[in-house]
Amino acid sequence: MTNKIIKILLLILLTLPLIACKGKAEEALPTDVPTVEALPTPTPLADRVVLITGDTQDAWTLEQANSTLQELAAGTGFEFETRPEIQVNEITSDIKVLVFLSHPDNLGSLSNSALNTQFLVISDQDWSPAGNVTIIKADVNSQVFMAGYAVEELSDNFRGAGLLNSEESTPNTAFRNGAKYFCGLCNALIFPLNTYPMIKELPQSSSPAEWIAGFNELYANSILFIYVPPQAYSPDLFSFIAQTNVKVIGISSPPAEAQAIWAGTFRIDGFSPMKEVWNDVIAGNGGKTVNASLYLTDTQNGFISPGKQTLIEKVVAEIQAGRIYALDAMNN
């Protein structure tokens, strides 16, 4: 009997730890297991072409820039965006091509901060591009050279003129060289016996009334064609010129009030070359400089005869080929 009791007690003692473990295991199991929702995967930003317009106001340039780059971006599968300016910290990895309509002062720091972005810049500066920069060289001096040539070629008895911005000495030299290229001394043979082109230089900040006074001074010398720089454009000036028989040559789009007296525009086109280099740009092959195109447009009023326009186009072709240099008087 005693042995039987001892066996029962031993069995109870051996069973107690198993019961205790089972209880603890059951207590460890949570009654409700929370479910963890997977976070959404961020959508990568689309690759972009961004146009920086800067202070460009010329309507033709803005229109061509937008239409050309929209077409190029769509053909590459990129989105297209326009901004007036951009800072270094705003150039993100999704911006594959940055296009500038004029040379930014900080182009070096911008391009160095974004080596995986290609920069496409219409520039009038002599600048050696880095490997992620392509320069389209726009030579303003050649434009103004042709304006000087045209006002003399188009005017009977050489009676051409130029309203010039006194703060742009280099283009002013180009204007004089263009006139000289056509006719040398350009001495009139009929009264008034002046040497042309007649020139009046005024500061860029001059008021419309001051530009009008400058034009009047030139008009007293029987001028027939005049070059007007973009800085002088105003409704008042063109309305005043329209009261005379003088016709206008320019290097920027004619405003509405000048249409009736506009003979032609010597236009720089950086967008045709842009199309030619686009595949290299998106392939990351920068470090190049290509020349913008120069041509005569806005001649719809018939103030330039076909023969004279042909002569003008031949001189433009010589400039584009590098056989005439706008600032070298020895060429003229």
Q: What is d(CA 270, CA 123) in angstroms, rounded to the nearest whole number?
A: 9
Q: Quote the pLDDT of residue 35.
A: 56
Q: Quote the pLDDT of residue 20.
A: 47
Q: Quote the pLDDT of residue 329.
A: 65
> Which are the contacts of 304, defined by CB distance < 8 A and separation ≥ 6?
150, 154, 263, 264, 296, 312
DSSP string computed for 234-266: -HHHHHHHTTSS-EEEESSPPPGGGGGGEEEEE
Q: Quote the pLDDT of residue 42.
A: 54
pLDDT tens across 42-101, in order? 556 689 999 999 988 888 899 999 999 999 999 999 999 999 999 999 999 999 999 999
Domains of the chain, earliest start first: 48-137 (3.40.50.2300), 141-267+295-331 (3.40.50.2300)
CB 154 within 8 A of CB 224: yes
Q: What is d(CA 262, CA 242) in angstroms, rounded to the nearest whole number?
A: 10
pLDDT tens across 18-51, in order? 444 444 444 444 555 555 555 555 556 689 999 9
**pTM, entire model:** 0.81
Burial class (CB in 10 A: 0-12, 13-18, 19+), 191: exposed
Q: What is d(CA 300, CA 303) in angstroms, rounded to the nearest whole number?
A: 8
- Vertex 284: Cα angle to 281 and 289 (nearest 5): 50
CB 197 within 8 A of CB 153: no
Low-confidence ranges of the chain (pLDDT < 50): 1, 9-11, 13, 16-29
Q: What percent of the chain lies above the pLDDT cut of 90?
A: 76
Q: Quote the pLDDT of residue 32.
A: 56
Nearest to 251 by CA among 326, 139, 173: 139
Q: Quote the pLDDT of residue 28.
A: 47
